[in-house]
């Protein structure tokens, strides 16, 4: 009963954490003259990817490199198929050209480099250092280019939002920062409690360790992204959804694997090339979907969600 309580309690924390994170980051973007897409790619994406970082680093410290790699691979599949897909089912997402021209190609290159590094089944410290330097470069270039964009061109921003954000005082600025930090912390706690409760329930029913790692951990650490996507979709903040999902994938590959690998070399025990191929395939399939009318429609989102459910069912059955 306690574990069931943690699951439901975690869901509540995830909702409020996502609500605060989306609200604070959206208003902060307008006030600082940065587009919501860039905020989603950086602040929101990194905040919601904190569970992946914590789980993967801890797993590698415990000598479970396969769990760390599996968590990243599974989370990226979940971010692309479930997070983006479910958000599009709730509200069709308009896609900015920058996403097609820059963000998706960066994600694709990061995925290929990661797979090439893992071809021998091991991530050495030097390789991890290369990945981690990549996230530093990514953040710097994203922020530099963000200053060149006009955030008012985003379809997610209404004139009322612009006026309210820019006419607010310094107190509102600190309040937005508090919402972002508080929302991120709440998301991490909510995800941790839900995964802990769900893991205990799964063990009670004798669910195999491999299934727990490839499904529950990957899904659980992606719950902040999913919760943020749902709240952003309800608020019709499409840029936040896209930035959150794509940015989280980039963060997972470069920062999470990079930091975990710098602490100790990673081995991908239990992770097969089938899992790697599904992760890469999901990224490739996403490009034509986004390019089609520069929008991710409900039916396309539905296909992504069904693909994720099918992949998860295959994992359980196999």
Give the pairing type, strands 93-94 and 266-267: unpaired
Q: How far apart are CA 117 and CA 267, in angstroms?
A: 11
266-282 mean pLDDT: 90
The per-residue pLDDT of the chain, averaged, comes to 82
Question: What pLDDT, on a 0 to 100 scale, did the predictor assign at position 158?
Answer: 46
Domain ranges within the chain, ordered by starting residue = 37-149+208-317
pLDDT digits (tens, 9 = 90+) for 157-183: 444 444 555 555 567 788 888 988 888
Percent of the chain with pLDDT over 70: 89
CATH code that applies to domain 37-149+208-317: 1.20.1420.30
Average pLDDT over residues 82-108: 90
Radius of gyration of the chain from Cα atoms? Answer: 19
SS (H, E, C) 215-280: HHHHHHHCHHHHHHHHHHHHCCCHHHHHHHHHHHHHHHHHHHHHHHHHHCCEECCCCCHHHHHHHH
Separation CA 76–CA 82 (nearest Å): 10
Q: Percent of the chain, pLDDT > 90?
A: 29
Mean pLDDT of 221-249: 83
Instruction: Give 145 or 84, the one with higher predicted confidence.
Output: 84
The 10 Å Cβ neighbour count of residue 312 is 20
How does residue 257 score in pLDDT terms, banded at 50, 70 and 90?
Answer: very high
pLDDT-derived band of residue 208, with 50, 70 and 90 as boundaries? low
Q: Report the pLDDT value the prediction gives residue 170, as an integer from 0 to 100.
A: 64
Between CA 114 and CA 311 the distance in angstroms is: 21
The rounded Cα 317 to chain-centroid distance in angstroms is 26
- The model's pLDDT over 284-306, given as tens digits with 9 standing for 90+, comes to 999 899 887 888 999 999 999 99
Residue 149: per-residue pLDDT = 62
pLDDT at 137 > cutoff 90: yes
* Least confident piece of the model among 27-41, 245-259, 282-296: 27-41
> Where is mean pLDDT largest: 115-119, 172-176, 184-188, 263-267?
115-119
Residue 267: beta bridge partners?
122
Tell me the whole-structure pTM to 2 decimals.
0.80
> Is pLDDT above 90 for 112?
yes
| Residue 209 predicted with pLDDT over 60 | no
Query: How much is the pLDDT for 130?
Result: 96
Q: Average pLDDT, stretch 260-278? A: 89
Q: Which residues pair with 314 in a beta bridge?
A: none
Burial class (CB in 10 A: 0-12, 13-18, 19+), 125: middle
**Choice among 141-150, 224-233, 262-271 with the minimum mean pLDDT:** 141-150
CB 262 within 8 A of CB 132: yes
- Per residue in 215-233, pLDDT (tens digit) is 777 787 777 778 878 888 8
The residue-averaged pLDDT of 259-279 equals: 90
DSSP 82: I
Q: How many CA within 13 A on the CB side of residue 263?
A: 19
**pLDDT of 47 strictly over 70:** yes
For residue 183, what are the CA distances in angstroms to 13, 32, 188, 271?
A: 9, 19, 9, 32
């Amino acid at each position: 009963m306690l574990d069931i309580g943690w699951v439901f309690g975690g869901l509540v924390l995830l909702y409020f954490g996502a609500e605060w994170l989306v609200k604070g980051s959206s208003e902060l973007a307008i006030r600082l003259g940065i587009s919501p897409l860039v905020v989603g790619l950086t602040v929101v994406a990194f905040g919601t990817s904190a569970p992946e970082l914590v789980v993967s680093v801890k797993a590698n410290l415990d000598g479970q490199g396969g769990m760390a790699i599996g968590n990243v691979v599974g989370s990226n599949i979940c971010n692309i198929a479930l997070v983006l897909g479910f958000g599009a089912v709730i509200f069709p997402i308009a896609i900015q050209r920058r996403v097609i021209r820059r963000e998706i190609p960066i994600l694709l290159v990061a995925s290929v480099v990661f797979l090439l590094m893992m071809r021998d089944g091991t991530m050495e410290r030097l390789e991890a250092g290369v990945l981690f330097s990549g996230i530093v470069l990514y953040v710097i270039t994203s922020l530099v280019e963000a200053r060149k964009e006009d955030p008012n061109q985003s379809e997610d921003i209404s004139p009322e939002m612009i006026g309210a954000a820019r006419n607010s005082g310094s107190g509102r600025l600190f309040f937005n920062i508090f919402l972002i930090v508080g929302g991120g912390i709440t998301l991490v706690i909510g995800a941790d409690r839900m995964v802990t409760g769900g893991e205990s329930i799964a063990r009670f029913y004798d669910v195999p360790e491999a299934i727990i790692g490839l499904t529950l951990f990957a899904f659980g650490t992606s719950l902040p992204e999913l919760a943020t996507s749902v709240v952003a979709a309800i608020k019709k903040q499409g840029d936040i959804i896209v930035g959150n999902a794509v940015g989280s994938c980039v963060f997972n590959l470069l920062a999470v694997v990079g930091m975990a690998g710098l602490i100790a070399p990673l081995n991908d025990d239990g992770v097969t090339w089938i899992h790697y191929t599904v992760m890469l395939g999901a990224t490739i399939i996403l490009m034509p979907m986004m390019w089609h009318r520069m929008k991710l429609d409900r039916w396309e989102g539905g296909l992504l969600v069904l693909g994720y459910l099918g992949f998860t069912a295959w994992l359980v059955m196999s």
